[in-house]
């Protein structure tokens, strides 16, 4: 296969950087688009995906785009999520169409189809902005529908939903669990027995590269990606905390209490946003977070693996060992 010109948006993120490096290792000509330098030694366009001119400049001449750039978080103004996740995706899709880019791998989230109930061996249900919970999930659901609606013989679009990506250097899931475990503010909700699957970053990156390889044959749909190793949520949190050098949590809080506390915290955060006193960090608890930490969510991976010709290469035990090695 001749070298492809591939644009990766959001190259500063844990997963974006891993995807860009892996594509380059495979011989692709990789360029990046993000707001600040990624430090990967690859050609970069610096700017916001909400800036149409910046997007068009970055997309020009590409054979494929992997779109990871997103506003992530459990709090914040709707306008911020909408501008980056919805408007940014719209600009990217339009640029691909106008400039003749034939392939788009849109990185989504399982939360786009999660209405709050437990997900046990679930398939990738259609994105539903009306039922998605929280600004992030709702905006990503809108973005996924927008991207998939552009699928055509001229622009093949495949949406990939990696589930809870983590690994060394993660400033989202891992950093927050380790920090709160060290401060003694990380409880286990309920019994901690709800089964949850996650995705080690190398596996997620390999799945996205496989999606670029397979998008000509597999397009117009969404696929969830995970390690296919569901574990009790209490066990996962404890393992991540321990690997990060923090004491595993021992305190249990009823899920209903955590949800009520989350509602109260959300109200306080909303007032702070309204008066221009937004916090630097996400709130310690929200109703969505309480739900995620107390209900099962894991997905049947057989169809994803078959369609992508991909399987995870790093199991959880190896991932935890790598995480521990990275902090010693």
Catalytically active residues, by annotation: 136
Distances (CA, A) of 41 to 2, 11, 19, 20, 22: 22, 11, 14, 10, 13
Cα–Cα distance measured from residue 85 to residue 107, given in angstroms and rounded to the nearest whole number: 11
Cβ atoms of residues 22 and 40 within 8 Å? no
Cα–Cα distance measured from residue 112 to residue 74, given in angstroms and rounded to the nearest whole number: 14
Bridge partners (DSSP) of residue 297 are 119, 196
Q: What is the DSSP string of 49-99?
A: TT-HHHHHHHHTT-SEEEE------SSS-HHHHIIIIIIHHHHHHHHHHHH
Strand 5-9, strand 29-34: pairing:
parallel
The shares of helix, strand and coil residues in the chain, as percent rounded to the nearest 5, are 45, 15, 40
């Amino acid at each position: 296969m001749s070298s492809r010109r591939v644009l990766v948006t959001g190259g500063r993120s844990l997963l974006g950087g891993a995807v860009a490096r892996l594509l380059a290792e495979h011989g692709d000509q990789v360029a990046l688009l993000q707001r600040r330098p990624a430090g990967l030694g690859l050609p970069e366009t610096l700017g916001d995906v909400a800036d149409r001119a910046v997007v068009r400049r970055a997309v020009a001449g590409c054979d494929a785009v992997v779109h990871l750039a997103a506003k992530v978080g459990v709090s914040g103004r709707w306008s911020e999520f909408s501008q980056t996740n919805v408007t940014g995706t719209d600009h990217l899709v339009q640029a691909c169409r106008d400039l003749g880019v034939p392939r788009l791998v849109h990185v989504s989230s399982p939360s786009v189809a999660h209405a709050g109930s437990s997900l046990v061996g679930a398939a990738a249900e259609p994105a539903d902005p009306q039922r998605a919970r929280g600004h992030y999930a709702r905006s990503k659901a809108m973005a996924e529908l927008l991207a998939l609606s552009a699928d055509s013989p001229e622009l093949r679009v495949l949406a990939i939903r990696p589930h809870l990506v983590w690994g060394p250097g993660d400033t989202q899931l891992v950093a927050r669990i380790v920090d709160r475990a060290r401060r003694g503010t990380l409880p286990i909700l309920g019994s901690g027995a709800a089964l949850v699957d996650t995705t080690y970053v190398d596996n997620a990156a390999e799945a996205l590269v496989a999606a670029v390889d397979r998008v000509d044959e597999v397009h117009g749909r969404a696929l969830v990606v995970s390690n296919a190793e569901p574990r009790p949520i209490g066990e996962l949190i404890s393992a991540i905390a321990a690997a990060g050098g923090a004491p595993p949590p021992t305190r249990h809080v009823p899920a209903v209490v955590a949800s009520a506390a989350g509602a109260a915290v959300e109200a306080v955060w909303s007032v702070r946003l309204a008066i221009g006193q937004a916090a630097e960090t996400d709130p310690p608890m929200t109703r969505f977070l309480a739900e995620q930490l107390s209900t099962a969510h894991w997905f049947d991976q057989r169809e994803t693996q078959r369609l992508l010709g991909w399987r995870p290469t790093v199991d959880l035990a190896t991932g935890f060992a790598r995480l521990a090695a990275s902090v010693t």
